[in-house]
């Protein structure tokens, strides 16, 4: 049903842009604001109400613009019902106050709720969507998890905050930081999509396809490294608000150790085995995506570190404007480099542009946080990591070169040996972070 799913994907993409404007940077700002006052229910309640009122007012204006688009733009008007159903994502994202639950670190609740609604969504897809004419139903099912999560969040809201209205709201203190986060979000969206747009305009759909495959694989790898960032944001914001500097520095050190230990083997693995990865995940037709993937593999480490310096440090420290500056700078650099490199190198040129833009983000953020240099880079086991990577790389290359065997089986064996050898050496050499993680796991198992 490519026609029906295409309509839904288009509607969802358009609605996503309206959602960005309606949320007005609340995703990260709300987490920080709630984390700082989470021990005081009165302050927390007032803060949540202030942010929510701001969001609701902005959402009303966004819906007005949305209605104008639906009524006066042909491509929207022809699928009016589809767009209105998809627009539920806007209001439920805003009033669902997910940022409150994250700010209070209710991650078990968030995980269980999300899994339940996603399972229900999957069941609904298979039971209700039977033909291409069911795309309206499909659209609702696709946003069901967001809608359901938002409703459940609202129903549980009175357990977390007081719902009685206050008489002394202070909206002004929220507007400026929310605006900074909003501009950052817009810059990120522009930065992400302008590369593909320019590549499509300056080359052909094949080059876009090659880059898209490489970029999707890169995203999976990056998400493995950066998932820690969103989880730690409320805790770090709490430490900063209560002047718990030693605890703040301790978590930053641990986070950087985690990022280096995990991202470097992923970088090396993606770079060396890019041909195999593309062949297995995308097929022989996408072989030309191998070169862009090699280049994009460096982003795993770069974004891992910049996620730490940006999300886990600049935001809790109240320096979000520098996060915004770094992203805007990267967007400008990315666009300029794309204009220069795409005509020469195609998808590979786009990959180079993105990597250099990400490097600019990291350099700028590290400069702003230069007083934390020892905290960031002082506890990493550089020598152990390098030796482990050399051993793992040589072993996996040797296994991968075995002739006359099934390529896929050989690849999975070499991949397994790569990571076993890497982490095995770190364990044998008693790398401190690895040992601390194993001790924590051992302690939890004994308790259970």
Q: Is residue 371 part of a domain?
A: yes
Q: Is residue 277 part of a domain?
A: yes
Contact 399, 419 (CB under 8 A): no
Same domain membership, residue 436 and residue 333: no
Same domain membership, residue 345 and residue 200: yes
Q: Is residue 124 part of a domain?
A: yes
Same domain membership, residue 385 and residue 374: no
Same domain membership, residue 389 and residue 364: no
Domain stop point among 355, 380, 405 = 380
Contact 293, 312 (CB under 8 A): no
Contact 315, 28 (CB under 8 A): yes
pLDDT at 268: 96
pLDDT at 2: 45
pLDDT at 402: 77
Report the C-alpha dihedral over residues 92, 185, 28, 95, rounded to 10 degrees. -10
pLDDT at 73: 87
Instruction: Please give the structure tokens belonging to residue 370.
Output: 């230069």
Same domain membership, residue 333 and residue 204: yes
17 Cβ contact list (under 8 Å, min separation 6): 189
Four-residue CA torsion sign, 234, 90, 95, 168: positive
Same domain membership, residue 213 and residue 93: no
Domain stop point among 364, 380, 396 = 380
Q: Is residue 15 part of a domain?
A: yes
Q: What is the spatial distance between Cα 163 and Cα 46, in angstroms, rounded to a whole number?
A: 9
Q: What phi, psi does 427 have (nearest 5°)?
A: -70, -45
Instruction: Please give the structure tokens belonging to residue 190.
Output: 């522009």
pLDDT at 394: 94
Can you list the residues of the chain whose pLDDT is less than 70? Answer: 1-6, 229-230, 404, 448
Same domain membership, residue 201 and residue 320: yes
Q: Is residue 166 part of a domain?
A: yes
Same domain membership, residue 50 and residue 128: yes
pLDDT at 126: 84
Q: What is the spatial distance between Cα 145 and Cα 12, in angstroms, rounded to a whole number?
A: 14
pLDDT at 346: 93
251 Cβ contact list (under 8 Å, min separation 6): 232, 235, 236, 239, 312
pLDDT at 326: 95
Same domain membership, residue 145 and residue 16: yes
Q: Is residue 191 part of a domain?
A: yes
Q: Which long-range contacts (C-beta less than 8 Å, at least 24 apart) are formed by 140-144? A: 140/85, 140/88, 142/8, 142/12, 143/12, 143/85, 143/86, 143/88, 143/89, 143/92, 144/117, 144/120
Domain that holds residue 131: 2-170
Q: Is residue 340 part of a domain?
A: yes
Same domain membership, residue 256 and residue 395: no
Q: Is residue 175 part of a domain?
A: no
Domain stop point among 122, 137, 170 = 170
pLDDT at 299: 95
Same domain membership, residue 394 and residue 324: no
What's the number of domains the chain is made of?
Answer: 3
pLDDT at 139: 84
Residue whose pair of structure tokens reads 């900074």 in the numeric block? 180
Same domain membership, residue 133 and residue 26: yes
């Amino acid at each position: 049903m490519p026609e029906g799913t295409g309509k839904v994907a288009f509607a969802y993409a358009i609605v996503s842009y309206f959602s960005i404007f309606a949320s007005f940077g609340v995703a990260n700002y709300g987490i920080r604001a709630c984390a700082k006052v989470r021990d005081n229910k009165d302050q927390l309640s007032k803060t949540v109400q202030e942010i929510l009122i701001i969001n609701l007012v902005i959402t009303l204006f966004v819906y007005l613009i949305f209605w104008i688009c639906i009524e006066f733009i042909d491509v929207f008007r022809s699928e009016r019902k589809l767009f209105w159903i998809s627009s539920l994502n806007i209001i439920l994202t805003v009033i669902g106050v997910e940022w409150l639950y994250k700010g209070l670190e209710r991650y078990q609740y968030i995980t269980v709720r999300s899994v339940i609604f996603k399972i229900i969504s999957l069941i609904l897809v298979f039971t209700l969507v039977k033909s291409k004419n069911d795309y309206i139903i499909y659209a609702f099912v696709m946003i069901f998890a967001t809608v359901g999560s938002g409703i459940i969040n609202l129903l549980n809201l009175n357990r977390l905050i007081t719902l009685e209205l206050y008489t002394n709201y202070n909206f002004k203190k929220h507007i400026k930081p929310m605006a900074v986060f909003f501009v950052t979000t817009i810059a990120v969206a522009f930065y992400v999509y302008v590369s593909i747009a320019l590549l499509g305009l300056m080359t052909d759909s094949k080059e876009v396809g090659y880059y898209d495959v490489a970029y999707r694989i890169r995203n999976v790898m990056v998400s493995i490294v950066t998932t820690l960032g969103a989880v730690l944001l409320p805790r770090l914001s709490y430490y900063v608000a209560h002047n718990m500097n030693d605890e703040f520095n301790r978590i930053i050190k641990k986070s950087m150790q985690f990022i280096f230990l995990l991202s470097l083997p992923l970088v090396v693995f993606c770079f060396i085995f890019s041909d195999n990865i593309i062949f297995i995940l995308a097929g022989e037709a996408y072989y030309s995506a191998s070169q862009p993937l090699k280049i994009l593999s460096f982003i795993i480490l770069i974004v891992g570190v910049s996620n730490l310096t940006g999300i886990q440090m600049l935001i809790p420290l109240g320096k979000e404007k520098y996060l915004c500056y770094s992203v805007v700078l990267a967007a400008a650099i990315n666009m300029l480099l794309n204009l220069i490199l795409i005509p020469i190198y195609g998808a590979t040129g786009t990959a180079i542009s993105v990597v250099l833009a990400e490097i600019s983000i990291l350099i700028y953020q590290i400069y702003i946080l230069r007083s934390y240099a020892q905290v960031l880079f002082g506890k990493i086991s550089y020598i152990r990591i390098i030796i482990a990577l050399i051993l793992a790389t040589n072993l996996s290359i040797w296994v991968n070169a075995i002739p006359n065997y099934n390529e896929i089986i050989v690849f999975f064996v070499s991949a397994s040996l790569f990571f076993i050898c890497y982490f095995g050496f770190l364990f044998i050499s008693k790398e401190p972070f690895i040992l601390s993680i194993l001790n924590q796991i051992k302690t939890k198992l004994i308790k259970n």
